[in-house]
Structure 1
């Protein structure tokens, strides 16, 4: 069963999922702190390069299956035009002011 972004517990994470699914790069970037970082499968990656390749240039889409930790940990069926669909885990660190300072993703 998919959880609609509007039903997610953390409003910043909900906005992140909404921006990804709408392919709205500007809205996505506004959710991040200026020094935000990310990792994929345990390796830190260049944020701008990764989001272009894995989300915006490849039609990324998140179908949230489960949430925990107040909505900051998600299990997602993630798909894009490069890799197809895969079950992934996402963890978010949300700074004061409601912006994401770090997110981590990888196979679930």
Structure 2
């Protein structure tokens, strides 16, 4: 059963999911620390390139199935125009309300 975005525990992660699902690139970027980094399946990626390709230009969408670690770890049914839908895990490092690092990969 999907967890409604508004019910996610961590306010920064909630805003991240909301920005992805609303295709709000400006709102998404405002959530990231200036030197934010990310990894996909254990490999560090270029954040701007990855988010453009995997989220914004391909209409990414997150349906959250589970959360743990105070809302900073999610299991998500992620879909976009390139890959279709897949179960993914997401984890977030949040400092002072901004995401300094996030990781995703197949769940």
Partner in structure 2 of residue 101 of structure 1: 100
Q: Report the equivalent of 2:19.
A: 19
Deviation at 1:5, TM superposition (A): 1.0
Secondary structure class of the residue paired with 1:65? strand
Secondary structure of the residue aligned to 1:82 is coil
Which digits, 9 at most, give the CA deviation of each residue in 1:63-92, with x for residues without a partner? 000000000000000000000000000000
Distance 1:89 1:37 in 2: 16
State the alpha-carbon separation in 1 of the partners of residues 11 and 65 from structure 2.
Answer: 17
Correspondence list, 1:63-82, <5 A? 63-82=63-82
Separation in structure 1 between the aligned mates of residue 94 and residue 42 of structure 2, nearest angstrom: 19
CA RMSD across the alignment = 0.3
TM-score normalised according to structure 2 size: 0.99
Question: Between Structure 1 and Structure 2, how many residues are aligned?
Answer: 107
SS in 2 for 1:70: helix
2:42 matched to which residue of 1?
42
CA distance in 1 between counterparts of 2:2 and 2:22 reads 17
Distance 2:5 2:25 in 1: 17
TM-score if structure 1 supplies the norm length? Answer: 0.98
Give the gaps of 5 or more residues in structure 2: none
